[in-house]
Structure 1
Amino acid sequence: MRIGVDGRNLGSATDGIGRFVHRSVKALSALGADVFVYAPGQINPSYDIPDGVALRTAGIRSLVARALWGQTVLPSLAARDEVEVFWGPAHRLPLTLVERIARVVTIHDLVWVHAPETMRARTRIGERLLMKPALRRADMVVTDSNATAAALETEFPWLRSPIRTVAPGATPLPAPGGFSGLQPIGITRAYALFVGTLEPRKNLRNLIRAYGLLPESARSACDLVIVGGSGWKQTSLADEVRLGGLERNVIFTGFVDDGMLATLYANCLFLAMPSRYEGFGFPIVEAQSFGKPVLTSNISSMPEVAGDSAILVEPNDPTSIADAFGRLCGDAQLRQKIAVGARRNAERFTWENHARGMLGIFEQAAGQRRRTAP
């Protein structure tokens, strides 16, 4: 099968969708698919694209020119390459493709619907303008979770394309180091861990406030370590920590490499991720792959992804978060009980499973297009 893939997110090594596309392309190629990747700019050199994957890139930098390229040059390249299916892995499809090419789009989340105030205006407007046309043109729609599939059906009752759920894979991290390896980043005591971009959707302000509600005895036994690069509208988090008198207990590491991330997961007491909304939630799976229990929210996809190896909280209620946080900090038996099935749950999410699921969907979409195209 000849599969065309929109690869515009592959320009950045820190783009979450870029990493998703990279891993998907590798897994599809490993299963024998003929993959053609189209990108307006150069692929980031950190992405090792398999030799069998055809790259069609340009040197376009401006946002306007990239958008025009996606609606003009990309469709002509896909037609020339005689792809059978075109896959938009991130909420977008070209407005025009030749009739014989099947169209599949993946929708990772509906943040712009459920938590628009947590998004940059430019991103929110882009989602509003471009997601609906993609949904109308798609032969099949793919979501990362059943929660997102259900939300699509509710929000877009006019949607006629079949919706299928194919969970993404979680990329294995390197072997971790011991606890002493954390001293260079200021970690010397037991800790709970948050991992993710520092942005409003991650609910860090409520997490810090919840931590501040704990008695001093609980905080002295369990620091809070916040790992991730700065997003937007989170410059006041340090003020939140200072006003709560939590400077000795809350540690911001910034972005860390995969080796340090693995060490952080392996040595934490639990993951604390009470997000306001998630289309999937990779840190949940990553923490569970190290056998760790998870504190996460009782909404959107998080209960589905975490399975039974988590305590669920109301993300808008700091008291609810604090109660669960305190229990997990102080009760080793509870942590052990919750974590019993953590590794087994994480094993569900592999890139090979994702690629096999996507190939089945591509075949269905191509078959449907062959039957209906003139």
Structure 2
Amino acid sequence: MGIALSANFIRPGRVGGVEQAFYNLVLGLLDCGANTTIVGGEGRLARGMKENLVARGAIVDSKAFVNNRFLAEEMFAATESRDFVGTVFPNYYLPMTKNRRLGTTITIVHDLQHLHFPQNFSLAKRLWLEKCIPHALRASDIVVCISDATRVDVEANYGAGRSRIVTIPNAVDWSRLEIRDGGAQPETVEHPYVLSVAHHFAHKNLDTLIRAVGEISKTRDDLKLVLVGQLSNALGSGSYSNRLTETIREGQLENVVRFTGLIDDATLGRLYRSAAVFCSPSLFEGFGLPAVEAIGLGVPTIVSGIESLKEVTLGRAEYVSNPLSVDEWSARISRAIEDPKNEHDRQLDAARVRAAYSRSVIAQKYLSLLGAGNKGTVG
């Protein structure tokens, strides 16, 4: 018997870091030799990803289900006739339909953003989360939270439920950020620059970072700010991108700040490696993948001093105690550029982070939950 993972939640490029976390986990399971089946309607996986996973040995079952994610999940649970040792539902929702053939059911809860920043969600989405999270806590065999910060938040707001709640962080795949032999050379930014990677949601606090870099640019006109991530109009998250544009206009920072939108992995990797400093000014995270990626590439990294980011960066970043303070951000960034951590220490930080979040290490934690222990395979 193998392990199944539902991909029915994926809308390529529109579900944030959860999509990449899913791919990283699947690749980790394949690294461990696990018999891995991905279930999801046609078009759920990013372009080229299906072929990549099949080439690695995954079974990709593009069932002809309805396009609606939740009906697709229920139909999968109701009609599946294969026996799995376990099934992972990677994005909050556990089907109401029970099917013993699915084996041990694992539901992943990433964060409780809908409670802390309800303005980012429609009323329907908030009501849905308020139904499906308690259901997952009652009916899943195991609920996985991607950080202790999320686990504590879940237990404080919903109680422990009947499910076993454990923390397993996201897997990180640094290999996707490499430039492949024969591939096109991604564009670079010639000036020294601060990098941030975040979709344009208000809680990402990018306006504070823009103002902070704007303050530095008054005395250092060669410094740029590069913001990678989906604009808010493509996310259905309101007008936050317009607010950022207005902040840039008010500060006359049109020649300082650059939006890239979504970019390919090789370009993102190049931008990470060439950055003078990486910053994550976010006010709320369940995990914070870009900060971990940056440290793993040896980039000086500054993040908000919120619990989740302090946890997942393993103490290897610099922490801003008041994430809304333009002055604190500008001072931290200036110091990081003028007196950066030495190369040796940054490489030690990178090695520790890579060891903690490697695909196979994280996948093995899931296999252990399913009773595979150190055998490394479910088959």
Q: Secondary structure of the residue that 2:357 maps to in structure 1?
A: coil
Deviations 1:272-296 (A, max 9, x none): 1110111111111221122111110
1:254 alignment partner, one of 261, 281, 284: 261
Q: Which residue of 1 aligns with 2:334?
A: 326
Among 191, 194, 201, which residue is 1:192 paired with? 194
Question: Using the alignment, how far apart are the partners of 2:347 and 2:38 within structure 1?
Answer: 41
Q: Is the 8 A contact 1:5 1:36 kept in 2?
A: yes
Q: Which moved more, 1:314-323 or 1:144-153?
A: 314-323
- Structure 1 segment 199-348 matched on structure 2, within 5 A: 199-214=201-216, 216-218=218-220, 220-231=221-232, 232=237, 233-236=239-242, 237-313=244-320, 314-332=322-340, 334=341, 339=346, 341-347=348-354, 348=356
Which range is displaced more, 289-298 or 36-45?
36-45
- Say whether the 8 Å CA contact 2:136–2:143 is kept in structure 1: no
SS of alignment partner, residue 194 of structure 2: strand
Cα shift at 1:13: 5.5
Counterpart-to-counterpart distance in 2, 1:191 and 1:42: 36
- How do 1:1-374 residues align onto structure 2 when only pairs under 5 Å count? 1-10=1-10, 12=12, 15=15, 16-44=17-45, 45-47=47-49, 48-50=52-54, 52-60=57-65, 62-63=67-68, 66-71=69-74, 73-78=75-80, 80-99=81-100, 101-172=103-174, 173-175=177-179, 187-214=189-216, 216-218=218-220, 220-231=221-232, 232=237, 233-236=239-242, 237-313=244-320, 314-332=322-340, 334=341, 339=346, 341-347=348-354, 348-363=356-371
Give the residue type in structure 1 aligned to 2:326: P
Deviations along 1:183-227, one digit per CA (max 9) or x if unpaired, are x56x33111101121222211112112333336114x24221111
Count of residues in correspondence between the two structures:
354
Deviation for aligned residue 1:363: 2.2
Q: Percent identity?
A: 25
Query: For residue 368 of structure 1, what is the aligned residue in structure 2?
Result: none
What residue identity is the alignment partner of 2:76? L
Structure 1 stretch displaced more, 263-272 or 144-153? 144-153
* CA-atom RMSD in angstroms: 2.7
Identify the range of structure 1 (261-270 vs 150-159) with the bigger mean alpha-carbon deviation.
150-159
Q: Compute the displacement of 1:126 (Å).
A: 3.1
Contact 2:137 2:143 survives alignment (8 Å): yes
One-letter code of the match for 1:69? A
SS in 2 for 1:94: coil
> Unaligned stretches of 5+ in structure 1?
366-374
SS class of match (2:54): coil
CA contact (8 A) 2:87 2:106 kept: yes
Deviation at 1:158, TM superposition (A): 4.2
TM-score scaled to structure 2, two decimals? 0.84
Which TM-score applies when normalising by structure 1?
A: 0.85
- Cα distance change on mapping 1:273 and 1:40 into 2, 3 Å: same
Tell me, yes or no, if the aligned pair for 1:309 and 1:341 is still in contact at 8 Å: no
Alpha carbons 1:308, 1:341 under 8 Å: kept: no
